[in-house]
Amino acid sequence: MVKKAAAIKEVLTTSYKGVRDFYPEDMYFEKYMFAAMRHTAENFGYVEYGASILEPAELYQAKTGEEIVNEQTYTFTDRGGREVTLRPEMTPTVARMIAAKRRELSFPLRWYSIPNLFRYEQPQRGRLREHFQLNLDIFGVESERADIEVVSVAYQLLKNLGAEDADFEIKISDRNLLNYFWDSISLPISKRRKIEKIIDKKAKMPDEEFRKNIEAEAGKRAAKIIEALDSGHAFMEAIGSAESPEIAKRLINIVDGLSKLGVTNVIFCPTLVRGFDYYSGFIFEIFDKDPSNSRSLFGGGRYDNLLKIFGAELVPAVGFGVGDVTLLDFLSTHKLLPEYRSSTFLCLAVLDDEYEFADILAEKIRDSGVSVAIDYSEKSIGDKIKKASTDKIPYFAVIGSTEVKSRTIKVKKLEDRSETSFPINEAGLHALTDYIFKI
């Protein structure tokens, strides 16, 4: 009985498998990444939008790769009999929103969002059942200036987070190059998507398994495909005869444009495949150069035809997503995370029941923008100081009858234990604010 009760309690304190609890320190790093995402996106003129995680299931049945709808989504029937899906990605949602108001909206649009997304899969490094993702897109610009811009926003986000060019690599290609290759080896249309999905997962399986999977789908053409993938040269030769010059020119323009903006860690990777069916041209992924993080950090590209599903006229679109789980792994691997600090600046410990005085004083200090927590506990002063240190609150002061009588507050800087006194009056509290903000 006792054992059973303990087991129940343990179940109850455990979160759902594959999702995270964000204790204040975890939340600090989430907020740090989100702030950099918002700052970078807005700096480039993107405005934030949002939507519910609940979407009608039809939205995904209409457009995304079948794998997503059939094997990996959280889809259920609500109490009114409607099929609902927890969004596995944001692109269908933003396409739906834009299609719904396409007559009122004035293009081009630069939009971003930081949604949480859901996939039912085995949790593993870099991959959870719920993650957050910055999604950033330009709608209404056909030219490669937009492709250049979204890549440079991605680049700038990493730079703003402290990364060096050598820490990451931007792989680019065009979704149609692969089609030219399939044409050159006369691969039946019906086989193409399946083989592309295998190629997309190449990095995640042993070479032998990869060869077997390709053979199972491509039969006698497997050797040719594997050779072409192993050697970019063989690949280019194979498609060289096809009519790809326009795509090549556009890719060169993109590499040139990026280089002029100082973005030079760009590699042309003809076998790049993106997981979703809707990509229609330029595609890119950004990888950590550290081998411990093998999943792509960023993934994106052009999806000019997606809005047609909603009956909207063609709206050129290009964008990317970057997830919090892989980004946090990247920042942690490269030691780019800041130290945790509390959002509270000052802890006031109350002595001698001087609660009223402390409350009113705290209110005055808060008015000047300094965040103040009052420790109402019965702990000793020593323990209160210890707690404030553990909580990473930088300043500490006592309010007791001595302070009330002398109308003086002595502020201790917990980092070095130095103390500074301030009279409790208007000028004194001004001086205290200045002192604290000069951290």
| Touching its own copies, residues 147-176 (CB under 8 A) | 148-149
Lay out the site mask for its own copies across 127-146 (x = CB under 8 A, - = otherwise).
Answer: --xx---------xx-x-xx
Rg (CA), the chain: 28
Per rule CB under 8 A, is residue 53 in the interface with its own copies?
yes
Per rule CB under 8 A, is residue 101 in the interface with its own copies?
yes
Among 377, 380, 401, 406, binds its own copies (CB under 8 A): 377
Q: Which stretch binds its own copies (CB under 8 A): 48-56, 198-206, 212-220, 426-434?
A: 48-56
Could you give the C-alpha distances from 233 to 178, 198, 270, in angstroms and in order? 14, 21, 10
- What are the DSSP calls for 272-286, one per residue? ---SSTT--SEEEEE
Query: Residue type for 185, please?
Result: I
Per rule CB under 8 A, is residue 183 in the interface with its own copies?
no
Among 68, 88, 91, 118, binds its own copies (CB under 8 A): 118
Closest CA to 180 of 249, 237, 122: 237
Smallest gap from Cβ 132 to its own copies, in A, equals 10
Smallest gap from Cβ 211 to its own copies, in A, equals 30
β-bridge mates for residue 281, sequence order: none
**Complex with its own copies: residue 241 or 380, whichever CB lies closer:** 380
Per rule CB under 8 A, is residue 435 in the interface with its own copies?
no
Per rule CB under 8 A, is residue 335 in the interface with its own copies?
no
| Residues in 22-41 at the binding interface with its own copies, rule: CB under 8 A | 22-24, 26-27, 30-31
Instruction: Determine the angle formed by the axes of helices 245-260 and 175-184, rounding to 10 degrees.
Output: 150
Question: At 210, phi and psi to the nearest 5?
Answer: -60, -45
Q: Which stretch binds its own copies (CB under 8 A): 55-63, 184-192, 195-203, 205-213?
A: 55-63
Residues contacting its own copies: total by CB under 8 A: 96
Smallest gap from Cβ 246 to its own copies, in A, equals 19
**Complex with its own copies: residue 130 or 167, whichever CB lies closer:** 130
Query: How many residues are listed for the chain in this entry?
Result: 439
Among 363, 415, 419, 434, binds its own copies (CB under 8 A): 363
H or E stretch covering 409: strand 408-413
Per rule CB under 8 A, is residue 249 in the interface with its own copies?
no
Q: How many CA atoms lie within 13 A of 276 on its CB side?
A: 26
Among 55, 196, 277, 403, binds its own copies (CB under 8 A): 55
Among 9, 212, 249, 430, binds its own copies (CB under 8 A): 9
What b/e string do you get for 236-272 counting C-beta neighbours within 10 Å, with b at 16 or more? bebbeebebeebeebbeebbebbeeeebebbebbbbb
Q: How many CA atoms lie within 13 A of 424 on its CB side?
A: 21
Smallest gap from Cβ 437 to its own copies, in A, equals 14
Lay out the site mask for its own copies across 57-96 (x = CB under 8 A, - = otherwise).
Answer: -xx--x-----------x-xxxxx-x-x-----------x
Per rule CB under 8 A, is residue 42 in the interface with its own copies?
yes
Does residue 47 contact residue 114 with C-beta atoms inside 8 Å? no
Among 186, 190, 390, 418, binds its own copies (CB under 8 A): 390
Per rule CB under 8 A, is residue 303 in the interface with its own copies?
no
Per rule CB under 8 A, is residue 234 in the interface with its own copies?
no
Answer whether the bond into residue 108 is a cis peptide, omega within 30°.
yes
Per rule CB under 8 A, is residue 332 in the interface with its own copies?
no
- In this structure, the number of other CB atoms found within 10 A of the CB of residue 312 comes to 15
Q: DSSP code of 214?
A: H
| Residues in 250-289 at the binding interface with its own copies, rule: CB under 8 A | 257, 260-261
Does residue 376 contact residue 392 with C-beta atoms inside 8 Å? no
Three-class DSSP category at 108: coil
Among 35, 48, 223, 434, binds its own copies (CB under 8 A): 48
Q: Which stretch binds its own copies (CB under 8 A): 191-199, 281-289, 303-311, 399-407?
A: 303-311
Positive or negative torsion for Cα 31, 37, 40, 41: negative
**Complex with its own copies: residue 240 or 262, whichever CB lies closer:** 262
Per rule CB under 8 A, is residue 404 in the interface with its own copies?
no
Burial class (CB in 10 A: 0-12, 13-18, 19+), 400: middle
